[in-house]
């Protein structure tokens, strides 16, 4: 069968399979096997076997559950709440500051977990109820949360980048590093848009309230910076070790899990239940179709 006929037939097959409720990996597996056999015949069987074996025995994809586990430990131990308070303190007094907090934390959480769903769920759970209580615009709030979460697949460590590099046989480390600048530029563009909206439509954020009171002191600044520094160490363990060539992405992910555990222990929030719940949630996310 000609390739130009096979490709649209393959897409149609995938749509039908996904619509029937079959897990995605099963649909892609059937489409790949069927397409390869139609193109090269029985000669495709060795290719299929070798491809499955290489995928199952590769260590690159081990970074994916490790990145997820790192984010779960930080969230369930309450460490992210301290990070939220620290960032919130540093920009106290800015009109509509919770929009900026949302985007800044999305970048940080994206660099800690690499999961779009994880970041969006985390931000929705932490900030959305509070922003609604203070009178922020619901549509702009949801937009800020989703746009911030969309940076997670770009900013390393990114689960999507790891999988893409594995499938395309490209260096995982180089692809992760390549996502740093685009992610930062997109975050800056989102913040600039929020600032413009606040100037043009001030009503999207409360003009008065507790966010404009209590000027920040030097003691508060020092305390907030001290609350952020531990997370910069974790980010260095993940991204810095890759940039310096000290560790592979899988090793860096393991270092991130170790750093997240140490941070929760140092903050006195680590419990055996935190680890068990984090592992259970990681397994649940990792096996999701």
Q: Provide DSSP, 5-47.
A: HHHHHHHHHHHHHHHTT--HHHHHHHHHHHHHHHHHGGGHHHH
Same domain for 223 and 95: yes
Phi and psi at 269, nearest 5°, equal -110, 0
Same domain for 64 and 53: no
Same domain for 124 and 23: no
Same domain for 53 and 93: no
Q: Which DSSP letter does residue 164 get?
A: H
Same domain for 41 and 154: no
Same domain for 243 and 223: yes
Same domain for 97 and 11: no
Enter the tokens of residue 201: 């439509």
Domain end among 11, 27, 57: 57
Sign of CA dihedral 258, 259, 262, 263: negative
Same domain for 156 and 257: yes
Q: Which domain holds residue 11?
A: 3-57
Q: Which DSSP letter does residue 216 get?
A: -
Same domain for 65 and 191: yes
State the total domains in the chain: 2
Same domain for 77 and 40: no
Same domain for 19 and 151: no
Give the Cβ contact number of residue 5 at 10 Å. 10
Same domain for 161 and 24: no
pLDDT in tens, the chain (289 residues): 676 787 888 889 889 988 888 888 788 888 888 888 888 877 778 888 887 787 777 676 777 788 778 878 888 888 877 887 887 788 777 778 889 888 888 887 777 766 677 678 777 777 788 788 878 899 999 999 999 888 888 887 777 787 788 778 888 888 888 888 998 899 999 999 999 999 999 888 886 554 545 567 788 888 888 888 888 888 888 878 877 888 887 888 899 899 989 999 998 888 899 999 989 988 887 775 5
């Amino acid at each position: 069968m000609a390739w130009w006929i096979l490709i649209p037939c393959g897409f149609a097959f995938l749509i039908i399979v996904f619509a029937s409720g079959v897990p995605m990996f099963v649909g892609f597996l059937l489409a790949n096997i069927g397409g390869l056999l139609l193109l090269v015949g029985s000669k495709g069987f060795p290719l299929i076997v070798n491809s499955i074996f290489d995928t199952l025995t590769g260590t690159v994809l081990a970074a994916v559950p490790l990145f997820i586990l790192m984010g779960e430990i930080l969230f369930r131990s309450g460490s992210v709440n301290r990070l939220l308070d620290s960032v919130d303190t540093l920009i106290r007094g800015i009109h509509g500051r919770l929009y900026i907090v949302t985007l800044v934390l999305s970048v940080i959480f994206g660099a800690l977990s690499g999961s779009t769903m994880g970041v969006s769920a985390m931000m929705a759970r932490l900030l959305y109820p509070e922003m609604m209580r203070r009178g922020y615009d619901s549509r702009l709030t949801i937009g800020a949360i989703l746009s911030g979460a969309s940076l997670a697949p770009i900013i390393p460590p990114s689960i999507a980048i790891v999988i893409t590099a594995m499938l395309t046989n490209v260096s995982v480390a180089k692809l992760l590093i390549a996502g740093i600048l685009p992610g930062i530029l997109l975050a800056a563009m989102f913040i600039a848009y929020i600032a413009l909206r606040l100037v043009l439509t001030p009503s999207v954020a409360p003009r008065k309230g507790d966010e404009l009171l209590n000027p920040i002191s030097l003691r508060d600044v020092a305390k907030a910076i001290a609350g952020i520094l531990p997370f910069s160490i974790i980010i260095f363990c993940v991204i810095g070790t890759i940039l310096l060539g000290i560790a592979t992405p899988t090793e860096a992910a393991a270092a991130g899990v170790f750093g997240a555990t140490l941070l929760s222990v140092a903050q006195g929030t680590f419990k055996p239940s935190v680890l068990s719940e984090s592992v259970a949630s990681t397994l649940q996310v990792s096996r999701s179709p």
